[in-house]
Structure 1
Amino acid sequence: MSDIKVDGFKSSGILAGLATVFDSYNDEEKKAQIKKTNGIFELRVKNMEGQEAVWTIDMKTSGSVYKGESKTKPNVTLIMSDETFQQLAEGKLDGQKAFMTGKLKTKGNMMFATKLDGVLKAAKTKAKL
């Protein structure tokens, strides 16, 4: 999944790890995660240099992570800094707090954005096994 990594973005390493976890799911686990989440997250992340990278977490059809914009309309687009995504993924920052303080912006279904935390936690748990 090296095609997910983007130089200068710490987020890309986290997302590549997430993709590896999704790939390791058996069909039953993948179907359960898709059924539980049922949507598409598009992540727009800016690094310290002001460059933007885009990734999509598809938990509606394929249960995968890929670099680039969503192939279909995402349920929510999350706009944040590289550092903010890293803190969210590590559980050091609460998504609602990030949103309320302006570190996280959303386009689309804001309530769906809350499901990202569950996806990240499930993947983190699986990665530790």
Structure 2
Amino acid sequence: MSDLKEDGFKTSEVLSALAQVFEKMPEAEKKSQIKKTNGVFQLSVKNSEGKEAVWVIDLKNKGEVTKGPAKKPDVSISLSDDTFIGLADGKVNAQKAFMTGSLKVKGNVMLATKLDGVLKSAKAKL
């Protein structure tokens, strides 16, 4: 999924890997993950140069990662490239990032808490 890559964004590497995990996932496992998560996450990521890119993790309908804004995301998350990488690596606590304002959430805040589990389970499969 090279169309997920965005120059200057470390996030795009992680999300490309996540997309590959979803592609290789057996259908039954994917359905289980969709049922468990049941949400569309829109990630607005800003890099160190101030450029912004948007990705969507659909774990409500298809179980895929796409680039560009979602029509109706259940939750929109705005954060920096470094914050996302920290979350994906497990070095940044999502609640702490939220409380300090480096992670902003619009929509279903409780759903946003599930993203951490999605990233961790995908990382385990890489």
**CA deviation after TM superposition for structure 1 residue 122, in Å:** 1.1
TM-score by length of 1: 0.96
Show the counterpart of 1:123.
122
Distance 2:121 2:48 in 1: 28
Distance 2:72 2:46 in 1: 21
1:18-54 per-residue CA deviation (whole Å, 9 max, x = no partner) reads 0011111010110010001000000000001100000
Q: Which blocks of at least 5 consecutive residues in structure 2 are unaligned?
A: none
1:97 matched to 2:96:
yes
Distance 2:122 2:23 in 1: 11
Show the counterpart of 1:110.
109
Distance 2:3 2:39 in 1: 22
Moved over 3 A (4+): none
1:46-96 per-residue CA deviation (whole Å, 9 max, x = no partner) reads 0011000000000000000011111x3111000000000000001101111
Note the aligned Cα RMSD (angstroms).
Answer: 0.6
Q: Secondary structure at the match of 1:114?
A: helix
Q: Which blocks of at least 5 consecutive residues in structure 1 are unaligned?
A: none
Distance 2:64 2:46 in 1: 22
Q: Which shifted more, 53-62 or 107-116?
A: 107-116
1:4 matched to 2:9:
no
Distance 1:125 1:82 in 2: 21
1:81 matched to 2:84:
no
One-letter code aligned to 1:21? V
Q: Percent identical across equivalent pairs? A: 62
Aligned pairs, number:
126
One-letter code aligned to 2:58? D
Distance 2:117 2:32 in 1: 13
Q: Secondary structure at the match of 1:96?
A: helix
**CA deviation after TM superposition for structure 1 residue 110, in Å:** 1.1
TM-score by length of 2: 0.98
